[in-house]
Structure 1
Amino acid sequence: MDISHRAVIRYFGLTGLTPKEIHEDMVITLGEDTPLYSMVKKWAAEFKHGRESLEDDPRPGRPVTVTTQKTIAKIHDIIIADRRVTKRYIATELGISQERIHAVIHNEPQMSKVSARWVPKLLGPDLKRTRLNMSRENQVFFGDLRLWMRPGSITSNQRRSSNRSSGNTQALRLPRKPRL
């Protein structure tokens, strides 16, 4: 029911009209948009008993959503720390239902359980992040690779290309199957 309907019910209730008279007047004025008589009766009684607010009362219960970026990050961190972790363990750690954990694992980081381990379906954000971090660490540790090579030394790529160009490559030939 709309707040404006409640305001009309409250106004007519203060003027002394009964819920039935209020509903009849609303049917004439609003037509198909009129709230049900039971709702008009309920709100008229609420206002008669001293209710001031036109808004709905807050309802108890869990929040609308538990799938926030913070929760997804926590789940992801738990899985990365131990790939053999179960959904039940994650659910008890974070206080979320196993169904919600299942949805987050399969939709957000896109992982699936293979041989009792969580394995990414594709190269996901965790592997990309790991590869980027390893590349940065290697770059800091080794620096520029050209500084490590001695002048005049031949790299493995150069060695392979020189063998191909000189014709020294030999292919291993397998015996053919006899034709019948």
Structure 2
Amino acid sequence: MDTAFREENPSESTIHDQARTGRPLSASDSKHQSRVDELIRENRRVKQIAISIEIGISQERVHHIITNLLGYRKVSVR
């Protein structure tokens, strides 16, 4: 049996993730949010792929900014 778990005091162990190295999420910052909002206000029929090409971020990040951060949703009136 492995004794590594027995030797640690349970009150001293942490259950939270340690900080990891890697690329930070910078595609959802306020600069990109304001630029996406500006492009939508200029042309409300603009497509997500066009926004992602214009700004230079992924289409998934554009969708996240539009739906979750800006709160826009698709409205169809006929």
State the TM-score, normalizing by the size of structure 1: 0.30
SS of the counterpart of 2:51?
A: helix
- Please give the per-residue CA displacement for 1:38-87, whole angstroms capped at 9, x wherever unaligned: xxxxxxxxxxxxxxxxxxxx86xxx4211101110100100011100000
Cα distance in 2, alignment partners of residues 109 and 32 from structure 1: 48
**Larger proportion of helix:** 1
Q: Which runs of 5+ in 1 are unaligned?
A: 1-30, 34-57, 116-180
The answer to whether 1:106 aligns with 2:67 is yes
Structure 1 match to 2:56: 95
Structure 2 match to 1:64: 24
- Report 1 or 2 for greater relative contact order, CA contacts < 8 Å, sequence distance ≥ 6: 2
Using the aligned pairs only, state the percent identity. Answer: 33
Size of the aligned set, in residue pairs, is 58
Runs of 4+ aligned structure 1 residues displaced above 2 Å come to none
Please report how far the alpha carbon of residue 113 of structure 1 lies from its aligned counterpart in structure 2 after TM superposition. 2.0
The answer to whether 1:81 aligns with 2:42 is yes
Superposed CA RMSD in Å reads: 1.9
The answer to whether 1:32 aligns with 2:8 is no
- Please give the per-residue CA displacement for 1:69-113, whole angstroms capped at 9, x wherever unaligned: 111010010001110000000000011111111011001111112
- Please give the per-residue CA displacement for 1:122-170, whole angstroms capped at 9, x wherever unaligned: xxxxxxxxxxxxxxxxxxxxxxxxxxxxxxxxxxxxxxxxxxxxxxxxx
**Larger proportion of strand:** 1
SS of the counterpart of 2:73?
A: strand
Q: Which has the larger radius of gyration?
A: 1
Cα distance in 1, alignment partners of residues 42 and 4 from structure 2: 59
